[in-house]
């Protein structure tokens, strides 16, 4: 059995009994019934995922997967490809937004080189404790306008690399996973993936990425159209979609999601790229969906369609579109808040407060 | 000069120069321009409020004001009046939602008895460090259906008590203030206040509070109609509105807002009750509005109208309706995140990252 098959086999449905007990407990806590709204719902979902009516969230981890994209040679991005590697260095030095927001919410950051065009040394020292993991499947994908972005074997390797990274973090104590991305060109790949699964046209799920103007946006859409026509990814075969129009970091994130579900660990999605990875993961194993928490709704055009397809309602709508795991960091904090309410509030009888 | 007059005199406009500098800095940080959306806007607003392009938020404080309401004898609430005092005890023992969420975001909780019907001892010990401040203006307001809820003098005393509490916390180092409430019956008072300022009918700004059914909701609306007809509060005289249909804790919160603005300290509003207090504060001194941050949009019907009137856009929409400062706690965390991004991220040149 492969690493992927074993992970899939370990994924169970979320636990109805723990959810019911958590729901009953919420109604005994010193507050009007239901008055914490989505925090209460989230706490109950966490109980189901973690299979306990007292889901405890201590060790918070953000895994940021980085990879490069051959399609950038078509001129679909505002920033040069070098920025992917430069930003990995920035993550290691603690200067990026995900570092600041992870620190704010008390999360560790793990950066994974899934397929950056440049090279990094394993175990590069990071003054801020960011861990670098090298799982390089290739030095960037191939240009998906000319054929598949990667081979089917590379797609499996990227998924399994994501599983290995999560397995390792679980052994280190991870209670909740936020996933994020870095990869110049990856909104192009994600829009292609979103189009395949949702059935919407590329123009409906393609946005400005880091800030394209109207002319470059319509060029980007035409490139995605071309890639889909040439590759004809099969929406019923998520690995086919990943290999033809995906990316190494997207495969890594999809594998991470699958592994987290196998370990009963809640996964907080970030924005559009992590949403595309979730489409791949749910395409491989639909039960994964119940382990997902949508942190925020990105400004990037396709994201709302991805969330609707996944039947996820974002917790935040702050007009963000950065990626890296920045939205996931904020979502992790809300998840921890939800669990704390469930676990730490006094009941009416404990507090001697009269009921309605 | 009175305490209130002095506080009003100290309120200045927010600082355009600090905001401009913060905006320029945001555009040099290693992220696509504007990609942190409302976090960037919030960081710039904080710069303006705190009059520095590097607004630092360390000491976070939630002040929860408690008071009782004579109008409860009209049967407008689901819980008995005793619950106000019982919940103050719960705050002191750390069992309430605001304790859990304040702890989650690293905020101190100050509970103020502005006018609870029961009595507490000053400096009651709290195993969790919640501070109790006694500023009792009365043992609950009078029934506003029979005449003014309080005298004009009591209204001034409640405002000045709120100012005193904030002055004290500023001397202890407070960088940001979240305000919250506890008071059985206070959605009734808040709906009356909202109706007066927004010009909307009571039925448009009155909700179910802790969970009234349809019959009790229409009774509540009729009581508010009656109170407004009998008292005829003057919308151009916010102290008149406070005295006739307000509450001691609402006056305290309004005073706290005014004092925070005078000290250039950002104020994170909670839900509907703190919104009503903000209406009073802005009615007294319109410049206060620029110091306000709306944490969340409450499910309570009138809140969205209050936010629209104040031209504030909530950061969160989690279907909450608890009060106490629970939403303010989450909002404080987002404000701190926004300031951290502005202060701690690397610039493109520092990080050696190529620009667009």
How far apart are alpha carbons B188 and B302 in whole angstroms? 11
Could you give the C-alpha distances from B201 to B132, B187, B198, B205, B231, in angstroms and in order?
A: 37, 15, 9, 7, 15
Domain boundaries, chain A: 3-54+342-351, 60-335
The per-residue pLDDT for range B57-72, each reduced to its tens digit, is: 999 999 999 999 999 9
**Catalytic residue selected from B5, B285, B324, B355:** B324
Dihedral sign for Cα atoms in the order A45, A48, A49, A53? positive
The per-residue pLDDT for range A112-124, each reduced to its tens digit, is: 999 999 988 766 6
Q: How far is A294 from chain B (nearest CA, A)?
A: 13
What local confidence, expressed as pLDDT, does residue A128 receive?
85
Beta bridge partner(s), residue B177? B61, B267
The per-residue pLDDT for range B252-278, each reduced to its tens digit, is: 999 999 999 999 999 999 999 999 999
Decide if the complex's ipTM is over 0.90.
yes
- The pTM assigned to this predicted structure is 0.97
The per-residue pLDDT for range B70-106, each reduced to its tens digit, is: 999 999 999 999 999 999 999 999 999 999 999 999 9
How far apart are alpha carbons B82 and B119 in whole angstroms? 11
Listed by number, the residues of chain B in 30-49 with a beta carbon closer than 8 Å to a beta carbon of chain A are: 30-39
Closest CA to A137 of A150, A120, A123, A124: A150
Between B82, B341, B356, which is nearest A97 by CB?
Answer: B341
How far apart are alpha carbons A276 and A191 in whole angstroms? 8
What's the mean pLDDT in B131-145?
97
Could you give the C-alpha distances from A280 to A8, B137, B355, in angstroms and in order?
A: 13, 61, 31
Beta-carbon separation of A354 and B82 below 8 A: yes
Q: How far is B285 from chain A (nearest CA, A)?
A: 29
How far apart are alpha carbons A211 and B25 in whole angstroms? 18
The chain A residue lying nearest B89, using CA atoms, is A351
**Which run of H or of E encompasses B179?**
strand B176-182
- pLDDT (tens, 9 = 90+) of chain A, 356 residues, equals 999 999 999 999 999 999 999 999 999 999 999 999 999 999 999 999 999 999 999 999 999 999 999 999 999 999 999 999 999 999 999 999 999 999 999 999 999 999 999 988 766 678 888 999 999 999 999 999 999 999 999 999 999 999 999 999 999 999 999 999 999 999 999 999 999 999 999 999 999 998 999 999 999 999 999 999 999 999 999 999 999 999 999 999 999 999 999 999 999 999 999 999 999 999 999 999 999 999 999 999 999 999 999 999 999 999 999 999 999 999 999 999 999 999 999 999 999 999 88
Q: Which CATH number fits domain B3-54+342-351: 3.60.15.10, 1.10.1610.10, 1.10.540.10, 2.30.29.30?
A: 1.10.1610.10
Q: Which CATH number fits domain B60-335: 3.50.50.60, 3.30.499.10, 3.40.50.10210, 3.30.390.30?
A: 3.40.50.10210
- pLDDT for B122 beyond 70: no
How far apart are alpha carbons A26 and A31 in whole angstroms? 9
Contact B62, B107 (CB under 8 A): yes
The chain B residue lying nearest A77, using CA atoms, is B356
SS3 B40: helix
How far apart are alpha carbons B250 and B295 in whole angstroms? 18
Could you give the C-alpha distances from B134 to B116, B120, B169, B174, B301, in angstroms and in order?
A: 10, 8, 14, 19, 31
Known active-site residue B324: yes
Mutate to test the interface with A, among B28, B39, B79, B335 (most CBs of A within 10 A): B39
**Which run of H or of E encompasses A342?**
helix A326-344
Beta-carbon separation of B100 and A345 below 8 A: yes
**Catalytic residue selected from A74, A154, A164, A324:** A324
The per-residue pLDDT for range A252-306, each reduced to its tens digit, is: 999 999 999 999 999 999 999 999 999 999 999 999 999 999 999 999 999 999 9
Beta-carbon separation of B345 and A318 below 8 A: no
Beta-carbon separation of A211 and B356 below 8 A: yes
């Amino acid at each position: 059995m492969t690493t992927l098959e074993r992970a899939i086999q370990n994924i169970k449905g979320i636990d109805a009994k723990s959810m019911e007990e958590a729901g009953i407990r919420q109604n005994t806590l010193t507050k009007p019934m239901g008055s914490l709204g989505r925090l209460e719902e989230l706490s109950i979902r966490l109980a189901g995922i973690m299979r306990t009516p007292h889901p405890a969230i201590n060790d918070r981890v953000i895994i940021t997967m980085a990879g490069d994209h051959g399609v950038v040679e078509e001129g679909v991005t505002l920033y040069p490809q070098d920025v992917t590697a430069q930003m990995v260095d920035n993550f290691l030095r603690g200067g990026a937004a995900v570092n600041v927001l992870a620190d704010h919410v008390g999360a560790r950051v793990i950066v994974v080189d899934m397929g950056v065009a440049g090279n990094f040394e394993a175990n590069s020292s990071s003054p801020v404790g960011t861990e670098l993991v090298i799982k390089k499947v290739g030095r960037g994908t191939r240009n998906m306008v000319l054929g598949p972005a990667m081979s089917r074997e590379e797609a499996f390797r990227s998924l399994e690399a994501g599983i290995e990274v999560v397995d390792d973090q679980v052994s280190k104590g991870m209670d909740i996973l936020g996933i994020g991305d870095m990869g110049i060109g990856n909104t192009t790949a994600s829009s292609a993936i979103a189009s395949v699964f949702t059935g919407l046209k590329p123009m409906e799920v393609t946005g400005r990425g880091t800030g394209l103007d109207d002319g470059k946006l319509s060029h980007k859409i035409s490139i995605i159209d071309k890639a889909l026509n040439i590759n004809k990814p099969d929406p019923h075969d998520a690995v086919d979609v990943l290999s033809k129009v995906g990316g190494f970091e997207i495969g890594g994130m999809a594998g991470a999601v699958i592994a987290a579900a196998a370990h009963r660990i809640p996964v907080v999605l970030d924005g559009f790229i992590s949403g595309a990875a979730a489409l791949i993961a749910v395409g491989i194993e639909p039960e994964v969906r119940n382990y997902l928490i949508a942190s925020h709704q990105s400004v990037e055009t396709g994201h709302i369609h991805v969330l609707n397809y996944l039947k996820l309602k974002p917790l935040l709508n702050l007009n963000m579109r950065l990626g890296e795991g920045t939205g996931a960091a904020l979502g992790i904090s809300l998840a921890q808040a939800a669990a704390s309410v469930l676990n730490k509030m006094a009941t009416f009888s404990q507090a001697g407060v009269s009921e309605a």
